[in-house]
Structure 1
């Protein structure tokens, strides 16, 4: 408000200089602050003025000039002191005070200098003294006008206060030369004014442009740090906030980072469209704002991931906040006529407990989120140091597994699938085994999940298919090969072509290959999956639905895809809850298979009683330790040779 008052008071004079509109408050303040920049020039000018006035006064011995010299020096020193104080604390004062201090000092010094020069002329000092004084006075008037052109009123005031007293004194002296000089000084003032006007306009335009550019830069910076869908901070905004927050933490402060991932958001986009998907994201953002403590930063990290960063008082308080956040985010959401469930998983890490810096905090929260998702989703997990040890172990396994494929440390074992009526081997399922040269045999449960998480399962799966096909080509033609496929392997580019190439290289007919897939493959309605199955089925490859009954079992899969076999999961055969219900389920599946002309395989058979039960229920095939464990290729060949010997030969043997 004070700046606006000051502007209104001088707007009329600004208009005299040709500007129809005074500068804005921000520009006005910026121009004022330029007056306080680099005061060294004023210090030098004050020193020169003091020296000249002192020499002039003492060379003449005139008391009036001596008093004037002392007043000029004192005024200059007072002005320098005031400017130094204000420049150091200029940001603490409004524009009005900055202008008053500078204007008062400039006016006082200019008037003192002008009066001293006029007194020297009026007292008739020696011509040599006048020659010393006049150039300095005229030069000061011009120099200050240029330096202070950012504030034209101040600039012209100084020129007038210096020049007019001198011009009056010269005119009063009466000689032609002095009168002419007085006229020139008087006429020079408008010329100086025009120069000041030009410089002032340039400075004002430059200052306005700088202010506009600064505002645009701040606006662009804010936009660059904001997510357009939710209005939250984006990844760049989080990085900025996280850095500043961590730097501002005290030694006893705690900072919590909550990393959320919506568990089934892809289904929303696929089924309802991206417009609804964006509205879901905006709703989740609003729910996070509702529960976020004061001083929090909320970020949409990307896709369907959100991060909440906030100071906390204790781990217990963090646990309570995590419960509130997850409960609020996962409440059913209604958009138009749709009622949506929004399950979410969340990983939480604390600084400095779980990490010493921002990068470590992010890594720990991300790792906790990973464990929350693999632990069943729609839950939260705090970071635990064991997670890092597990991660290091998984990375070690990944690196060693890549090397193991190259060094032939892996081997293919084969477990028979037996016809329950004849007892003959109909199929061998290929199973990979890893014999580490230092750690011994590593179980598939340990390295297969790592291969799936890292994408190495694609290379491993192709290798298993190729190796197993080279073995199976030597079996009797009526014995088929079964190979498990990972969803990642199926969705890899050129997956079908890779399998057909492996069969062609081994010389194994496609009709003797049976690919086992699980129901999880069909959770994503992926055209690549359908194309893969159809392409291989057209070439003669058979498909089996593995682990039936443990996932999202649907008869739609059986009707839609060309399955020739269903494998009933071992939990219905030899699991802890085996009983009348499980037997009824097996019977129902077997009846379904009989009606559709499909073989039903019972997995996990370990006793003769289990074999009798599943056979009575209608299963046509069985697999399990009762018949054989997985064995190397040469033992598989021995089993086939033994069962195909004539009965007399076997008895003789």
Structure 2
């Protein structure tokens, strides 16, 4: 059918119609008898031989045309298959073969266009403790768990639409037929996914949390209903493992708040209302300011600061994180060019961005535009970011080092596989998480952990930076353990770009002045 709709197919149909029309005319006018009489009358001029030759050539031309048309038909069919395959790949997850986020977004558009009139239940499912599978056994085990989890979901929902939105998050759309019990379905989900997984002879036990909302009962926009189901999922996870929560009006405020924050976030990015502030990083022994860490600060219309832990997560979920990060890094690099050439800039990369294999190129482009030397920039990466896609992370870290940019492992000690990350990746610095620093004076075990991290840094010839230093006693203890750098309220809170210039100017004019 695709051949007949093509240009060549239409031309073949027209030629066939013309040929049949001529055949009909010739038959009705006895044209063939007249032609034979003409050939007999002029046999001495060899018209009959010429007629035979033209007939044979015409026959061969017809056969050739048929063969070419058949080849063209096969080529069109092959291209159609290839296009369908490319389309399938673009809208499906390569590991589980489930429809992906892009396919789900197309499904949302279908709902928005009014192409679906059914009542739909929307489940959002998240695997509990999935991270520890990747950390403790390896990513091959994590992939095997995801494939098995997909198989179990298909057993529960053999005819429903199942999507993998990314990581260990799934969405199921199930028609609300008469007698469907969403709570019972949710219990089946959590029960099946809580059963042990067998991976390479190792028994893995995780679990799952689920939240659900109803379309159109909870909203006439599928995107809004998904947010409602997300809010129910968060409520379920807050209660522990293997819980199912239904969306209700008590969660409405959370959904509306998130939607408002996302809307305001888009406007704030557009209007450059989110700006970097800078917290000093000092050499513990001397108090010398050797650099600043850039931290995002957003003051909303009411004059209140929105916590970065809140809007950074929303920026990642809504796809705004790339634009936000590039603007912040560009501003920070521009500010850093006004500092002394020995003063460095530290900048955090969110976990979602470390899956962008072009991240290294984006950063080097910004450095080139701003004129900041690559060796003055230090990119901070968390362990959480590393384990999402270790192959992509390795490439990005390699690209950054090739460009002369330093890389620090942030929040060291808070993940499952800190030592493994130090073995697998090349870092220039370790940052000790503030959760250890805040309590190590009171808790002997925490103090031992901090001492071990500092010792590890010394053994690997890596600098260590302790975060969250608030008292002179903490500073003295860390210095005694061998920690080299520190940051925290003892040395200064995050400040504006102009305040950093003033601080550095004061330190330069008063050589004996030191922070902390």
Query: Which of the five TM-score ranges fits, normalised by the shorter chain?
Result: 0.5 to 0.7
**Aligned equivalents of 1:566, 1:275: Cα separation in 2:** 32
Aligned to 2:292: 428
- Tell me the number of residue pairs that the alignment of Structure 1 and Structure 2 aligns: 398
Aligned to 2:151: 282
Aligned CA distance change for structure 1 residues 354 and 602 (closer, same or farther; 3 Å): same
**Aligned equivalents of 2:215, 2:392: Cα separation in 1:** 43
Aligned to 1:394: 258
Q: 1:621 aligns with which of 473, 485, 490?
A: 485
Structure 1 residue 642: Cα displacement: 2.3
Residue aligned with 1:347, SS: strand
Aligned to 2:244: 380
Aligned CA distance change for structure 1 residues 321 and 620 (closer, same or farther; 3 Å): same
Q: 1:500 aligns with which of 340, 364, 383?
A: 364
Aligned CA distance change for structure 1 residues 397 and 273 (closer, same or farther; 3 Å): closer
Structure 1 residue 446: Cα displacement: 3.2
Residue aligned with 2:160, SS: strand
Aligned CA distance change for structure 1 residues 523 and 478 (closer, same or farther; 3 Å): same
Aligned CA distance change for structure 1 residues 607 and 350 (closer, same or farther; 3 Å): same
**Aligned equivalents of 2:261, 2:184: Cα separation in 1:** 37
Residue aligned with 1:624, SS: coil
Correspondences of 1:60-209 after superposition (within 5 Å) = none
Structure 1 residue runs without a partner (length 5+): 1-228, 247-254, 290-296
Q: Does the 8 A contact of 1:269 with 1:277 survive in 2?
A: no
Q: Does the 8 A contact of 1:458 with 1:488 survive in 2?
A: no
**Aligned equivalents of 2:259, 2:221: Cα separation in 1:** 23
What whole-Å deviation, never above 9, does each CA across 1:310-349 have from its counterpart, x for those lacking one?
Answer: 78999xx976774454224311144784644453221134
1:446 aligns with 2:310: yes
Aligned to 1:178: none
Correspondences of 1:53-64 after superposition (within 5 Å) = none
Residue aligned with 1:547, SS: strand
Q: Does the 8 A contact of 1:458 with 1:492 survive in 2?
A: no
**Aligned equivalents of 1:597, 1:480: Cα separation in 2:** 19
What whole-Å deviation, never above 9, does each CA across 1:5-25 have from its counterpart, x for those lacking one?
Answer: xxxxxxxxxxxxxxxxxxxxx
**Aligned equivalents of 2:276, 2:321: Cα separation in 1:** 15
**Aligned equivalents of 1:359, 1:628: Cα separation in 2:** 43
1:583 aligns with 2:451: no
Aligned CA distance change for structure 1 residues 566 and 384 (closer, same or farther; 3 Å): farther
Aligned CA distance change for structure 1 residues 389 and 634 (closer, same or farther; 3 Å): same
Correspondences of 1:168-567 after superposition (within 5 Å) = 259-262=124-127, 264=130, 271=140, 280-286=149-155, 288=156, 299-303=160-164, 304-306=170-172, 322-323=186-187, 325-334=189-198, 337=201, 339-341=203-205, 343-349=207-213, 354=218, 364-365=228-229, 367-369=231-233, 372=236, 378-492=242-356, 494-567=358-431
**Aligned equivalents of 2:229, 2:330: Cα separation in 1:** 40
Structure 1 residue 356: Cα displacement: 8.7
**Aligned equivalents of 1:608, 1:274: Cα separation in 2:** 47
Structure 1 residue 615: Cα displacement: 1.6
Aligned to 1:118: none
**Aligned equivalents of 2:421, 2:214: Cα separation in 1:** 45
Residue aligned with 1:644, SS: helix
- TM-score (norm. length: structure 1): 0.53
Aligned CA distance change for structure 1 residues 378 and 300 (closer, same or farther; 3 Å): farther
Structure 1 stretch displaced more, 532-541 or 341-350: 341-350
1:642 aligns with 2:511: no
- TM-score (norm. length: structure 2): 0.66
Residue aligned with 1:449, SS: helix
**Aligned equivalents of 1:343, 1:257: Cα separation in 2:** 19
**Aligned equivalents of 1:357, 1:534: Cα separation in 2:** 43
Structure 1 residue 399: Cα displacement: 2.8
Structure 1 residue 563: Cα displacement: 1.1
Q: Does the 8 A contact of 1:269 with 1:276 survive in 2?
A: no
Aligned to 1:146: none
Structure 1 residue 509: Cα displacement: 0.6
What whole-Å deviation, never above 9, does each CA across 1:453-473 have from its counterpart, x for those lacking one?
Answer: 112111111111111111111
Aligned CA distance change for structure 1 residues 374 and 525 (closer, same or farther; 3 Å): farther
Structure 1 residue 305: Cα displacement: 4.3
What whole-Å deviation, never above 9, does each CA across 1:177-200 have from its counterpart, x for those lacking one?
Answer: xxxxxxxxxxxxxxxxxxxxxxxx
**Aligned equivalents of 1:402, 1:353: Cα separation in 2:** 28
Aligned CA distance change for structure 1 residues 372 and 523 (closer, same or farther; 3 Å): farther
Aligned CA distance change for structure 1 residues 308 and 269 (closer, same or farther; 3 Å): farther
- RCO higher in 1 or 2 (8 Å CA, sep ≥ 6)? 2
Q: Does the 8 A contact of 2:357 with 2:395 survive in 1?
A: no
Structure 1 residue 434: Cα displacement: 1.8
Q: 2:474 aligns with which of 610, 613, 620?
A: 610
Aligned CA distance change for structure 1 residues 269 and 522 (closer, same or farther; 3 Å): closer
Aligned CA distance change for structure 1 residues 414 and 343 (closer, same or farther; 3 Å): same
Residue aligned with 2:492, SS: coil
**Aligned equivalents of 1:480, 1:494: Cα separation in 2:** 23
**Aligned equivalents of 1:495, 1:457: Cα separation in 2:** 12
Name the Cα RMSD after superposition.
Answer: 4.1
Q: Does the 8 A contact of 1:515 with 1:542 survive in 2?
A: yes
Q: Does the 8 A contact of 1:347 with 1:372 survive in 2?
A: yes
